[in-house]
Structure 1
Amino acid sequence: MESYQSDWDETFQYLSREMLVPEVLETDLQQQVPTPPASEISPSLRKDTTTLSVSTTFFPGADLGQPHPPDLVLHSSDSVFFYIHSSAFLKFSKNPFTSLIPAYPISPTSDDSILPEVIVPENSHVLNIVLHLLYMIPCTHFSPPADVISKAIGALKRYGVSIKPFAAPDTCLYDLILSRAPLHPIELYALAAEHDLHDLAVAISSHLMSFNLSTLTDEIAIQIGPTYLKSLFFLHLGRNEALKRLLFTPPTLHGPTLQCDFAEQKKLTRAWALAAAYLAWDARPDLSTGTINSVFGSLQKHLCCQLCQNNLRQRVKQIIVEWSDVKVSHY
């Protein structure tokens, strides 16, 4: 009996030692493998993390030239927040921002970090331009496309802001539109015409010399309207007519000499007429002075008379000067 008890004790001690090994190993592994620090946890896994997109110009603490901090937050359609002053809108808006902003100063809350929020239908690109214009902050460096400028002006008008004072020469809107006119001349001319921004329309029309009026769509023509459309057509037609008058006036004839009589000089007149017809056949308002000089200058190599050469050079020079003086914008 004692032998069985001894055998059992040895077996129990052996099993106990073997069963303790996994526990020890697990403990050692826990000590050897460090726990990742909390900062390495993916933000997407943190339920208490919220990401906000805030304007780089209109943010809390931005210096916007106002005597008090922002008292309103505008929430764009693409979820960008703009911290602004309600007074900046109420000063220009005839309909208190389509009644989205109270027509009286907003009282500050006890917690300065909690401001009233207004959700607007414009996206951040459009709203950014709108706010820059209202705060009279230059914004040409954003280089917005024509449709963003158009939507920004439409938003200002919808919010009860009179456009003309903001589009006068030397204003932010005037500079912004004119800076984009070389790339989008007809679109911005139509925009200026639509809102009767005369000074802008005149300035932009100078960028339309190379525009083919036959490509005007019905939509753009309707947007431009009859008054500004007539001015644009007359500008093109006037330049074409002025060009033809200049081209078809040949060089003056000099007195007959032994080497070059009137019959000989008629050769220059006929050659000039052919060159003028070549240019006038596809006359364009943007015909360059270089082209005029090149076409008529090529006649000189066929002239043996020095007086004829001088008359030819003088006439080409006169055409270039007069063509440069023809107006390039309507009034």
Structure 2
Amino acid sequence: MDISNWDSVLQFTSGANMEFGLQDHDFPEQSTSSTPNLQVPTPPHSTDGGSPICDDPSDNNVLVSISTTFYPGANLHSLPPDLALLSTDSVFFYVHSHIILAASDNKFLSLIPTSSSKEQSSNMVIHVPELSPVLNIILHIIYNISCSHYSPSFETLSDAVHRLPSYGIDPKSCITPRTPIHALLLSHAPLCPLDVYTLAAKYDLYDLAVPTSSHLLSFQLSTLTDETAEAIGPKYLRRMFFLHIGRSDALKRILLQPPHPHAPTPWCDFADQKNLTRAWALASAYLAWDARPDVSTGFLEAALTPLVEHLSCDLCKQGLKDRIKNLIVQWSVVKRTI
């Protein structure tokens, strides 16, 4: 980055001293005199929070922690940033006040004034009561840019989403299928489906809850805690229960119909074909007894195909194979999501 891009950073420093934690205080004027003890800070590599962590400064250096995405020279908008947000762990985020105010209906927790003069607003540092990893994600959501390269944990993502309403931002309006945050949350569904589903249910994120629900088919509903059930709410809890119950009932209905009998032959009449019907009834009863919503088509095929080996009639064998194939097709089209 060009050294000139860090001029605004130096506005926060005077000599080797810096003040953090004050809300709505102005940038000090940049000194025109030479300051041999002051060096232009260069942010280290980013961490999970999206902001560098500086080493302990020496006596002759002033190091400033600045977001690697929201820094003074970032080309996030045609206009330069006019506002600096300071997290509780002393990381600066340079943003555009009009973008923040447009996304928030409470002036970003009433931290951003709207009646300030242009000169005041361009020299303002606002302390935000959030750690840099959470604030970093909130700002990425506001700017609608991806933060996946920081590889934030789901806990950090969840904390950021939970904090959005506090800053006057509606999660339902900003977490939609075509947004980067939606894709990032959905990427965690295979590993923590219940947590993602609970988050989606809490803020009525239907487009996130639907694909996540397919990863809950193996979840044992009996292990659902009262706390989680309350967090999910009756609307999405009902949908999840109906998904499980509906698929289990559908599997039982599909298994109920035995293979179609063929026309009697000299070596296999209707009485002989009853053996196949009884064998199918026993196998299907075994499967229906523990009809889980996550039963795979491969499991069904593996459980029913061995019946063919006990048949001597080629027509019965073909009829059984056709019935198994039809069952697999029927089960594969049963709805897997809420």
TM value normalised by structure 2: 0.79
Counterpart in 2 of 1:170? 178
Greater share of helix: 1
Counterpart in 2 of 1:35? none
Counterpart in 1 of 2:45? none
Q: Deviations over 1:263-302 (max 9, x none)?
A: 2111111111121122222221110100111111011111
Taking the aligned partners of 1:184 and 1:149, their CA distance within structure 2 comes to 13
Shift of 1:144: 2.6
Amino acid at match of 2:78: P
5 Å-filtered alignment, 1:55-74, equals 55-64=67-76, 66-74=77-85
Counterpart in 2 of 1:225? 233
Shift of 1:172: 2.1
RMSD across aligned C-alpha pairs, in angstroms?
A: 1.9
Does residue 132 of the first structure (1) align with residue 140 of the second (2)? yes
User: Given that residues 82 and 96 in structure 2 are in contact (C-alpha distance below 8 angstroms), is that contact kept between their aligned partners in structure 1?
Assistant: yes
Taking the aligned partners of 1:235 and 1:98, their CA distance within structure 2 comes to 39
Q: Deviations over 1:76-119 (max 9, x none)?
A: 22222211111111011110011111124662369x8xx42222
Counterpart in 2 of 1:185? 193
Taking the aligned partners of 2:270 and 2:189, their CA distance within structure 1 comes to 51
Q: Where does structure 1 differ by over 4 angstroms across 4 or more consecutive aligned residues? A: none
In terms of mean alpha carbon deviation, does 69-78 or 92-101 score higher? 69-78
Indicate which of 80, 91, 99 corresponds to 2:110. 99
Counterpart in 2 of 1:194? 202
Does residue 157 of the first structure (1) align with residue 168 of the second (2)? no
Does residue 50 of the first structure (1) align with residue 62 of the second (2)? yes
Query: Structure 1 residues 87, 44: CA separation in 2 closer, same or farther (over 3 Å shift)?
Result: closer
Counterpart in 1 of 2:309? 301
In terms of mean alpha carbon deviation, does 166-175 or 284-293 score higher? 166-175
Taking the aligned partners of 1:307 and 1:300, their CA distance within structure 2 comes to 11
Query: Structure 1 residues 45, 132: CA separation in 2 closer, same or farther (over 3 Å shift)?
Result: closer
Amino acid at match of 1:49: N
Indicate which of 264, 269, 284 corresponds to 2:272. 264
Taking the aligned partners of 2:57 and 2:336, their CA distance within structure 1 comes to 63
Does residue 216 of the first structure (1) align with residue 228 of the second (2)? no
5 Å-filtered alignment, 1:70-89, equals 70-89=81-100
Amino acid at match of 2:239: S
Taking the aligned partners of 1:171 and 1:299, their CA distance within structure 2 comes to 50
Larger Rg: 1
Aligned residues with identical type, % of pairs: 53
User: Given that residues 176 and 182 in structure 2 are in contact (C-alpha distance below 8 angstroms), is that contact kept between their aligned partners in structure 1?
Assistant: yes
Query: Structure 1 residues 105, 328: CA separation in 2 closer, same or farther (over 3 Å shift)?
Result: farther
User: Given that residues 86 and 105 in structure 1 are in contact (C-alpha distance below 8 angstroms), is that contact kept between their aligned partners in structure 2?
Assistant: no
Taking the aligned partners of 1:147 and 1:46, their CA distance within structure 2 comes to 35
User: Given that residues 174 and 200 in structure 1 are in contact (C-alpha distance below 8 angstroms), is that contact kept between their aligned partners in structure 2?
Assistant: yes
Query: Structure 1 residues 329, 104: CA separation in 2 closer, same or farther (over 3 Å shift)?
Result: farther
User: Given that residues 201 and 209 in structure 2 are in contact (C-alpha distance below 8 angstroms), is that contact kept between their aligned partners in structure 1?
Assistant: yes
Shift of 1:50: 2.8
User: Given that residues 130 and 152 in structure 1 are in contact (C-alpha distance below 8 angstroms), is that contact kept between their aligned partners in structure 2?
Assistant: yes
Taking the aligned partners of 2:57 and 2:302, their CA distance within structure 1 comes to 72
Taking the aligned partners of 1:238 and 1:105, their CA distance within structure 2 comes to 58
Indicate which of 237, 240, 247 corresponds to 2:248. 240
Taking the aligned partners of 2:115 and 2:229, their CA distance within structure 1 comes to 42
Shift of 1:321: 0.6
TM value normalised by structure 1: 0.81
Shift of 1:251: 0.6
Counterpart in 1 of 2:30? none
Shift of 1:176: 1.9
Q: Which runs of 5+ in 2 are unaligned?
A: 1-54
Taking the aligned partners of 1:52 and 1:174, their CA distance within structure 2 comes to 32
Taking the aligned partners of 2:116 and 2:124, their CA distance within structure 1 comes to 12
Shift of 1:171: 1.7
Q: Which runs of 5+ in 1 are unaligned?
A: 1-42
Shift of 1:209: 1.1
In terms of mean alpha carbon deviation, does 71-80 or 209-218 score higher? 71-80
Q: How many residues align?
A: 284
SS at match of 1:268: helix
SS at match of 2:103: coil
User: Given that residues 57 and 63 in structure 2 are in contact (C-alpha distance below 8 angstroms), is that contact kept between their aligned partners in structure 1?
Assistant: no
Taking the aligned partners of 1:209 and 1:166, their CA distance within structure 2 comes to 28
Shift of 1:187: 0.6
